[in-house]
Structure formats: structure tokens, C-alpha cells
Amino acid sequence: WQKKSLLIRSAIEDFTDPVMPEALFRLAQSRAVESRLVINEGGTWRLEHGPFRKSRWQRLPERHWTLLVQGLNHHVPAAERLLRRFDFVPLARLDDVMVSVAAPGGGVGPHFDSYDVFLLQGRGVRRWALSRQRDLHLAPDAPLKLLQRMHVEESHDLVSGDMLYLPPRVAHD
């Protein structure tokens, strides 16, 4: 705990997404929901904040974008039930359920968090690259807190129900 990352295959057997992508897009149109759209165009990162107009989804590129919806547990009962499965974490360290949906090649870029992260894979497959690097310098011109360099030490392909635990300051992409 808080010392090294841990991959748990089939952490939740028969996992069902708390929300389908279409519903996530609808939630991102609400002023009551915190949402972000991250787009990588040829190595240049763009960040847009919601709420989004419905027409925004029709103008997305085919690849390299990710929609993030924060605090899903405040809006979707299934997400609240999912969060309760982590009640072994002290309440002061437990934040919320953030859900993302991404096009092929989508992601938010190499970064680190200052808190424990539980990455639970829903539908599809996602490759996660990890590093316990000490160089945490951020890219100066990026609209997100992205690492200037990431030295990948390991990578894992997660499928539905797999979970990856990351302690604070473990770089991931």
C-alpha cells in the first residue's frame, strides 16, 4: 500500500460500466457536471472544459481524444456503489469516481498524481505505461500538467474488470 503499483487481473469479475458512453456524453453537456475534453493533435495537446454542446461530439476527430467526467458518483447511483467498494480507503483520502471514454489513441498524456489512483478498466482495452521516475518536471507549454519526459519501466494491457493501483507520484500514461 502506497509503496508500489499493483496490477489485479479480474479485480471485479463480470464488471459492468456504471455508465455507457452515450450517457457520459449527455452528462458532459450539463452545467452540474465537471467535464473535460483532451485532444492530442500531432503532439500538441488541447484542453476544453464543459459543459459541451451536443454538436461538439459530431466534430470530434476519429482518433486521439478523451472525454473525462469527474464526480460521476454524485450523478449516477451505480458509480456511487462502485465507490463504496473502496471503503477500505480512509474517507479523507477518498475523492470521487472519474470516468473517461476515448477514441483510439486517446489519453491524457504522461502525468503523475499526488494521491492514490485506482484505474479500473471498463469496456475495451487500455494500455498503461508506468514509471517510478524521479524526474517530475512538467512540460512548460502544455495545457495539462504533463511530464516533459517519461521513462517507461513497465506497461500493462487492462481489460474489463482489471484494476491497476498506483501510489502517489507514480508516472503513468
User: Tell me: the pLDDT tens digits for 124-167?
Assistant: 999 999 999 999 999 999 999 999 999 999 999 999 999 999 99
Q: Which pLDDT band holds residue 65 (cuts at 50, 70, 90)?
A: very high
Please tell me the chain's helix, strand, coil percentages from 3-state DSSP, rounded to the nearest 5.
15, 30, 55
> Is the pLDDT confidence value at 44 over 90?
yes
Structure confidence at residue 89 (pLDDT): 85
Structure confidence at residue 104 (pLDDT): 95
Structure confidence at residue 94 (pLDDT): 81
DSSP state of 112: -
Which residue did the predictor score with more confidence, 132 or 3?
132
Q: Which pLDDT band holds residue 110 (cuts at 50, 70, 90)?
A: very high
Q: What whole-number distance in Å separates Cα of residue 67 and Cα of residue 36? A: 6
Q: Which pLDDT band holds residue 93 (cuts at 50, 70, 90)?
A: confident
Dihedral (CA of 56, 57, 62, 66) sign:
positive
Structure confidence at residue 153 (pLDDT): 97
> Is the pLDDT confidence value at 63 over 90?
yes
Buried b (16+ CB within 10 A) or exposed e, 16-54: ebbbebebbbebbeeeebbbbbbbbeeeebeeeebebee
> Is the pLDDT confidence value at 61 over 80?
yes
Q: What percent of the chain has pLDDT over 70?
A: 100
Supply the mean pLDDT for the chain. Answer: 95
Mean pLDDT of the region 32-57: 97
Which amino acid, 138?
L
C-alpha cell at 27: 452528462
